[in-house]
Amino acid sequence: MSETRITTLEEEIAHLTKMVEELSDVVARQDQELSKMAHRVKMLMEREAERELDAGGSAVMTDQRPPHY
């Protein structure tokens, strides 16, 4: 291989390596955000179930499918 071709390949590998690292950081950040959101949704569902009980309704079963499924 020529020296120019090797240099070009090394530059491409460096660029791709940087992109992979950046994408990995994005995925890690999104995973953290998704975990936070899932926790918040769980808390909101529990709060709403408590409100339903306090209002005299029946218990909300968040893990059951509605009857129309």
Whole domain around residue 32: which residue ranges?
1-54
* Residue 59 in domain: no
| Tokens 């949704």, residue located | 41
* Residue 26 in domain: yes
* Residue 24 in domain: yes
Q: Count up the domains in the chain and report the number.
A: 1
* Residue 23 in domain: yes
- Round to whole Å and give the CA distance between 37 and 31: 10
* Residue 68 in domain: no
Q: What pLDDT does residue 63 have?
A: 64
Helices (H), 1-69: 3-54
Q: What pLDDT does residue 59 have?
A: 56
Q: Is 43 helix (H, G, I), strand (E, B) or coil?
A: helix
* Residue 66 in domain: no
* Residue 7 in domain: yes
* Residue 60 in domain: no
Q: Which residues of the chain have pLDDT under 70?
A: 57-67, 69
Q: What pLDDT does residue 60 have?
A: 55
Q: What pLDDT does residue 37 have?
A: 98
pTM: 0.61
